[in-house]
Chain A
Amino acid sequence: MRARDLCVRYGQKVAIKDVDIDVHTNQVLALIGPSGCGKSTFLRSLNRMNDTVPGVSVTGHVDLDGEPIYGPNVDPVLVRRRVGMVFQRSNPFPKSIFENVAYGLRIAGMRERDVIAERVERALRHAALWDEVKDRLPESGLGLSGGQQQRLCIARALAVEPEVLLMDEPASALDPIATAKIEDLVADLRGELTIVIVTHNMQQAARVSQRTGFFYMGRLVEVGETSQVFTRPRERETEDYITGRFG
């Protein structure tokens, strides 16, 4: 995925400005920066979730496999089927564990029960949740623990086999053990799927990502190899942020 000159405005207010970034295929890109710096807004513009917020306007270009996702006649629904998303607060549907994961398949028109069952199992295994829930698939997804709920949401997103997975602070509401499981999961998915993860936690960014981008006041200050950004940042603002001088 690729963004060029991307600007997002809420009414008159500019949320992000002139963002140019390449998201490398099958790698993990971490986005860090202080609260309100625009990293979540940027993330939501990669699957056109900003379209659902009244008053938002997006200019610039975002390409998925060379195709402009803001092009004319592009249906945002089709974009979102190829670019999945996991949110900060886990949001399982008030349905069974099985139906949560099957949801994306069913809305895409899949009917064959055995195929759905197989895809649900594969997604749950992928999300490292299968062993914990395989005996309780008909139970409500809301009965799971917070960390399990978040992995259920990841499984739900993986079930539709997206090319890109966007994760908006997926572990910020979880305890350290649940967080570690999510991080392991992201690390496992590395190489199979393109991931963009927004995080407040710099250790997390350093642990799971190959590349890191630093957002500040609506601008992308710098982006590069994670090891380089954390050890030899090119910009003064990045250095100040990662060494804890602000933010």
Chain B
Amino acid sequence: MSAAAPPRRLVGTVRHGDRALQTVTLGSVVLILAMLVVLLGDVALGGARTLTWEFLTAAPRDGMTAGGVFPAIFGTVALTLLMTLAAVPAGVATAIYLTEFASTESRLARLIRVSVSNLAGVPSIVFGLFGLGFFIATVGKAIDGVAFGGQPTYGKPCLLWSSLTLAILTLPVVVVATEEAILAVPRELRDGSLALGATRMQTILRVVLPEAMGGILTGTILAVSRGAGEVAPILFTGVAYYLPYLPSHLNDPFMSLGYHVYVLATQSPDVDRTKPLLYGTALVLLILTFLLNLAAIWIRSRTRRHSRAAA
């Protein structure tokens, strides 16, 4: 039996599915955009009036019902910088090892890759507990025992341990982004360098890394901006409810914007009076994150232009 011949007609349509698919996909786009607009609009409208110079530069007053969020901004920036300082060198080094030295089939490389992707899947509260158990209760306590005669100096929640905990959280993203950026460097460039008698290290430092730098920075900044707003990892490891002073040492506790939002929302004696502050804090956190993302976009567009010139 032969298959039925297709109908020999031109009028009408058989593309009902196309229309439906377009409607459904467009619908999700609209839904997502609407949520984003509502979220950003609400925070921006609610926070705009609070966002004064005093709010940005003063400390909270009157049981957090007045004043500003400067200590929280300071703490978030310090935390983010320290985290970057810890995560980026380790992440970039790991990625260089994976791409340049480990052979693709090697067991070690596969083990590292699996570990990195599993690390990325660990819930952030678990990182917080890990930081408490490992950094504070183990490493910090050991340091105190050896260097401070058992006096709790590093064996307590503080800026250092929070930064390191966050660094572990952001590490997988840094590794993966760096790996991708390095792998995108054309083989011809490496060959060109090696053929001129460059060592592997010279090739990596002078050709591969400069070429991959745009991608590495973009990925890293995105990872860092994600980490900057995290609350769970710092909850047990160093963030403070309220501090009358700014942290000045690595072993000082600190305030952070993310946690401050939580505190204002749940711990306030007078919800109506803290509401504007809450909006303002959320807005500041969003702006900080957006600034980081903008930097990433700017770097990416610069690198694109650069590599287009290469084509």
Contacts and interface: CB of A to CB of B under 8 A. Distances in A.
Interface of A: 47, 49, 52, 54, 77-78, 80-81, 84-85, 87, 89, 91-94, 103-104, 107-108, 140, 142-143, 153, 156-157, 160
Given A91-B186, A103-B206, A160 B196 contact: yes
A80 B194 contact: yes
A49 B196 contact: no
Interface in B108-123: none
A87 B306 contact: no
Given A49-B191, A87-B191, A107-B202, A78 B197 contact: yes
B195 interface: yes
A78 B193 CA distance: 13
A84 B194 CA distance: 10
B30 interface: no
B184 interface: no
A80 B191 contact: no
A126 B173 CA distance: 47
A49 B310 CA distance: 24
Interface of B: 103-104, 186, 188-199, 202, 206-207, 210-211, 306-307, 309-310
A153 B191 CA distance: 12
Which 9 residue pairs across A and B have the least CB separation, nearest first? A81-B197, A91-B188, A85-B195, A104-B196, A91-B192, A80-B197, A142-B310, A107-B198, A107-B202
27 contacts: A47-B195, A54-B104, A77-B197, A77-B198, A78-B197, A80-B194, A80-B195, A81-B197, A84-B196, A85-B195, A91-B188, A92-B192, A93-B192, A93-B193, A94-B211, A94-B307, A94-B310, A103-B198, A104-B196, A107-B193, A107-B196, A107-B206, A140-B309, A156-B192, A157-B195, A157-B196, A160-B196
B188 A89 contact: yes
A52 B197 contact: no
Given A94-B211, A107-B202, A153 B192 contact: yes
A103 B188 CA distance: 15
Contact of A103 (B193, B211, B310): B193
Given A94-B307, A156-B196, 15 more contacts: A49-B191, A49-B194, A52-B190, A54-B103, A80-B195, A85-B191, A89-B188, A91-B191, A91-B192, A103-B193, A103-B198, A107-B193, A107-B196, A107-B202, A153-B192
B151 to A, nearest CB: 51
Most buried by B among A54, A77, A140, A143: A77
Given A87-B188, A91-B192, A108 B309 contact: no
A49 B195 contact: yes
Nearest to A80: B197
Contacts of B193: 93, 103, 107
Nearest to B308: A142
B306 to A, nearest CB: 7
Contacts of A91: 186, 188-189, 191-192
Contacts of B196: 80-81, 84, 103-104, 107, 156-157, 160
Contacts of B103: 54
Contacts of A157: 195-196
Contacts of B306: 94
Nearest to B210: A94
Contacts of A52: 190-191, 194
Nearest to A51: B194
Contacts of A85: 191, 195
Most buried by A among B103, B190, B206, B210: B206
Contacts of A108: 197
Contacts of B210: 94
Contacts of A104: 196-198
Nearest to A153: B192
A107 B206 CA distance: 9
B95 to A, nearest CB: 19
A93 B207 contact: yes
A77 B197 CA distance: 5
A98 B58 CA distance: 53
A54 B189 CA distance: 17
B27 to A, nearest CB: 44
Contacts of B186: 91
A160 B197 contact: yes
Contacts of B191: 49, 52, 85, 87, 91
Nearest to B307: A94
A10 to B, nearest CB: 15
Nearest to B211: A94
Nearest to B203: A107
Contacts of B211: 94
Contacts of B190: 52
A17 to B, nearest CB: 24
Contacts of A140: 309
Contacts of A156: 192, 196
Nearest to A99: B206
